[in-house]
Each structure stands twice: as structure tokens, then as C-alpha cells.
Chain A
Amino acid sequence: MRLLQRLKRGDDSKLSRPRGHSNYAYTTARVHAMKSKLLPKETYPRLLNMQIDEITRFVGELEYKEDVDELARLYEGVDLIEHALNRNLAVTFTKLLNISEGEVNFLIFQYLQNYDIWNIKTILRGKHCNASTEEILEAIVAAGRFTYTFLSELSAKPTPEDVIASLSQSEYYSILKDYDGKSLSEIENRLDMKYYEDLFRAIGEPKSKDRKLYSEFVRTEIDLKNLTTLFRLKKYRLTSPEMMNLMINGGLKLKLKEIEKMMPLSFEEFVAELANTPYWDDISDCCSPNMDSFVDLEAKLKKLRLKSSVSFSHLYPLSIVMIMDYILGKQNEVNNLRMIIRGKAVGLSDEEIKNQLVI
């Protein structure tokens, strides 16, 4: 039967479900314990009252101690924290892959592939703008399949073409080979599309309740990404139907057809139209036809996503959604810490930093 399924899938054999035992109980219990070590929300106001040195010391005493100690000989100050946060994120997510087996490992791996795409995009963008290797490495998070060593080698390549040539064995090469020096944003969009296509193929036709929730989790993410892109497009008065290729297919509550209808609208009309979507209740208080900044809105959307993933994880604590909730929580903690550190470094007021945080 398995052989038949594999034959039917043909080229997609790489995405076929792994055989063998899935250790959901072990992984979820361990992830629960890891989740209890995430910073509680009361910590952030305290961090806002601290100076950069104090924050560095505070972060160095937390889960990030090993990373800060390891990198202290190479970097200092804000850069040290930035690198330590990225390293910790990579180590944590690699650990998730190491402790999981079978299907749970497969699903985590598929989700974390967005880091591979993120890293490829970062390196290509860096090379495109002639950024230094150091600057590129600052934004690298080696949480996917590519190791930090491989990514540092890629960052050290002189041109984007050399980077692409080094990735000739990867599954992304079919998209990357179309890079002609100008089409970077198009390549980036295609990589994102491929990520979600692969993820949906990995999820397959969800039958069990937890798999349905996982699918909902991914599709909510797509909705919120599409919403953010739409807001930005509208703000810059881009209403061309060609912009539809920036939209990701597979959203939960915002289908492509609805987005297509919204595309020609002006910003004011778009905001009015949003009132008919299910997300309006959550974003209505920070959404108006004459809004200037999207900071509040984006923080609200991220909060909404975290909230939905927490409720999913409570529904099925022994499933993949609980692990996804931890991944989101960890990403959010690292983002918040980075925002506080960077905000303090450039002299932003506490109020401004607080508005950016997703707590």
C-alpha cells in the first residue's frame, strides 16, 4: 500500500510521510518544559527600565547564557546580544528536530524550512546590496537544514551568482537559477510560494483533529501575511492586478478571490471593505482610513496569531500544534528582546519600544 502511495506521489517522494514511531508524548512534554522557561510578560516592563548593560547582563543569566558566553570573545554590546539571540534560536529549533522522531520530526522540519528560505533571501539581498559578510551573518538564523558553517561560507562568496551556484544541489535551485541580477524580489516571492506549497503537500489532506488545527495554524499565518502585504500595497497606492502574485494562496478566512476584489480599491475603500472580513473585530481599533503607521496594526496581527496558536495548543496539548505554539512563542521572545536592545541602542523612548513589542 505504501509502495502504491509512493508511486502515485511520483517526484514528491521526498515529502512522503516518514515511517516509524512518532514520539509525540516525549517531544510535547519536553517542549512544555521548555515553554515554561520562556520569559513571562511581566519581565518586559522591567527590561524597558534597564540600561543596555543591565539588559545584556540579564539576558546573559537566562537561557541565553551559553550563547552569550560562547560569542563574548567575538562581539560586544548590542551585536553580542543580537548574535546570541540568533544563535539561541537556531540551537533551540535544531534541538526540536533532534529530539523528535517520525512524523512529528517531519512536520517540524517542514515548518522550519522557512529559515532556510529566510537565510537564502538574506544572503542574496546582502550580496545584491554589497553588504559585508559580517552584516549578513548578523541576520542569519541557522535553524533549518543548512548549517551555520555552510551559511557563513555562502555569505563569504563574492557575488549572488556564486551563492546560487553553491546551492545548485538544493531543491531551491530550480527557482534560484532564474536570477538575472534584477529579479530578486520575484525570486523571493517564488521561494515563499514554494515554501507554502511544500508545507501544504506535507500536511496533505488533514483527517485527524490535530492535523486540521495544524493546517488552520498555517493558513491563519498566510491570512495575516496577505493582510500585512495588502495594507502596505494600499498605502503606496499600488492597485495593479499584477500585485496578486505577491499574495499567497491557501488562506483560511481571506480567499484569493476576496483579495482579488480588494486589489483595485483605494486605501479608504479597502479599510471599509475589511469591515466585512472576520479579522475586523480584532484590528478595528487600530485601523482607520487615515492611519500613518502600521506598527500598531502589525503588533496586533502578531498578537492575534499568538493568541490563536495558544488556544490551539490548549485544545490538543499532545499534538504538533503545541510545538508550533512554542516555536512562535520563542520567535516572539527573541524578537521582543531584539527590539528592546536595538531600540535602546538607537535612543528610542520606552513608549515607542513598548508599542513595537508583542506581549
Chain B
Amino acid sequence: MADVATATVLFDAAGMKAIGAGLAVGLTGLASAIAEKEIGTAAIGAMAENEALFGKGLILTVIPETIVIFGLVVALLIS
């Protein structure tokens, strides 16, 4: 009986939702970071040669932010 009680506490629905929401934001955040790292370094490289590319570089760098925004939306839907 004690085990069932412990399991109920461990796998509490609200807790699982919170973990799911956390994972959704956390993992998508990591994915965005990895994508932005590559694009950001490339943008810096292009800007080092041609300063006029700053605007384009900035826009391209933040495009992967959409991934974490989707993660946030999913997290909000879950919770």
C-alpha cells in the first residue's frame, strides 16, 4: 500500500505536466541555442567583412528563436 501511495505522489498528474512543460521549454531552448550559435558566428564573420550586413545578420540570428517560442506555447498548453 505504501508503494502505491509513493507512486501516486511521484506520478502526480500536475507534477508530470510541470515536468513536460519544463522539458518543452528547456529542450527547445537548447535547440535554439545550438542553431543560433552557428548562425551567430556566421553573421559575425560576414559582418567582419561587410558592416552593412548587420541588419540581415541580426534577423537571421534570431530566426531560430521561433523554436523556443513553439516550446513555450506547448508548455503553456500543457499547463
Partners in one complex: yes
A→B interface (CB under 8 Å): 23, 25-30, 32-34, 36-37, 99
Q: Are B41 and A26 in contact (CB under 8 A)?
A: yes
Is B73 in contact with chain A by the CB < 8 A criterion? Answer: no
Q: How far is the CB of B24 from chain A (nearest CB, A)?
A: 27
> What CA separation (Å) do A39 and B68 show in the bound complex?
42
A26, A28, A37: the one contacting B44 at CB < 8 Å is: A26
Judging by beta carbons under 8 Å apart, are B42 and A25 in contact? yes
CB distance from A330 to the nearest CB of B (A): 14
Q: Which residues of B contact A34 (CB under 8 A)?
A: 49
Contacting residue for B42 out of A28, A36, A37, A99, CB 8 A: A28
Contact across chains for B50 and A33 when beta carbons are under 8 A apart = yes
Interface size on B, residues (CB 8 A): 12
Interface centre among B38, B44, B46 (most CB of A within 10 A): B46
Q: Which DSSP category, helix, strand, loop or mixed, fits chain A's interface?
A: helix
Minimum-distance CB pairs A-B, first 9: A33-B49, A30-B45, A29-B42, A29-B45, A25-B42, A26-B45, A26-B41, A25-B38, A29-B46
Sampled A-B contacts (21; CB under 8 Å): A23-B41, A25-B38, A25-B45, A26-B41, A26-B42, A26-B45, A28-B42, A29-B41, A29-B42, A29-B46, A30-B45, A30-B46, A30-B49, A32-B46, A33-B45, A33-B48, A33-B49, A33-B50, A33-B53, A37-B49, A99-B45
Name the A residues within 8 Å of B44 (CB-CB): 26
**B41 pairs with A25, CB closer than 8 A:** yes
Query: Taking the complex as formed, is B43 at the interface, i.e. its CB lies under 8 A from any CB of chain A?
Result: yes
In the complex, besides A27-B45, A29-B43, A37-B49, 7 extra interface pairs with C-beta distance below 8 angstroms are: A23-B41, A26-B44, A26-B45, A30-B45, A30-B48, A32-B46, A33-B46
Q: Binary interface profile of B, 31-70, with partner A (CB < 8 Å = 1, else 0)?
A: 0000000110111111011100100000000000000000
Closest B residue to A23 by beta carbon equals: B41
- Cβ-closest chain B residue relative to A34: B49
Nearest CB in chain A to that of B40: its residue? A25
**Chain B, interface SS category:** helix
When distances are taken between beta carbons in the complex, the residues of chain B under 8 Å from A27 are 45
Residue of A nearest to B42 (CB): A29
Q: A220 CA to B69 CA in the complex, in Å? A: 47
Residues on the A chain within 8 Å of B48, using CB? 30, 33
Say how far A20's CB is from chain B's closest CB, in angstroms: 15
Bound-complex Cα distance A204 to B49 (A) = 32
Tell whether, in the assembled complex, residue B46 and residue A25 are in contact, meaning their CB atoms are under 8 Å apart.
no
Whole-angstrom distance from the CB of B61 to the nearest CB of chain A?
Answer: 11
Residues of chain B contacted by A36 (CB below 8 angstroms)? 50
How many angstroms from the CA of A258 to the CA of B10 in the assembled complex? 74
For the complex formed, measure the closest distance between the CB of A70 and the CB atoms of chain B, giving whole angstroms.
20
Q: How far is the CA of A32 from the CA of B48 in the complex (A)?
A: 11
* Docked pose: A27 CA to B48 CA in angstroms: 11
Nearest residue (CB) in B for A30 is: B45
Residues of B within 8 A of A29 (CB): 41-43, 45-46
User: Closest residue to B50 on the A side, CB-wise?
Assistant: A33
Q: How far is the CA of A37 from the CA of B46 in the complex (A)?
A: 12
CB neighbours (8 Å) of A99 from chain B are 45
> How near does chain A come to B55, taking the closest CB pair, in angstroms?
14
A259 to chain B, nearest CB (A): 42
How many angstroms from the CA of A109 to the CA of B42 in the assembled complex?
21
Complex contact B39–A25 (CB within 8 A): yes
Complex interface: chain B residues within 8 A of A32 (CB): 46
Distance to closest chain B CB from A166 (angstroms): 36
- In the complex, what distance in Å separates the CA atom of A99 from the CA atom of B24? 37
A102 vs chain B, min Cβ distance (A): 13
Residues on A with beta carbons closer than 8 Å to the beta carbon of B49: 30, 33-34, 37
Closest partner residue, chain B, to A33 (CB atom): B49
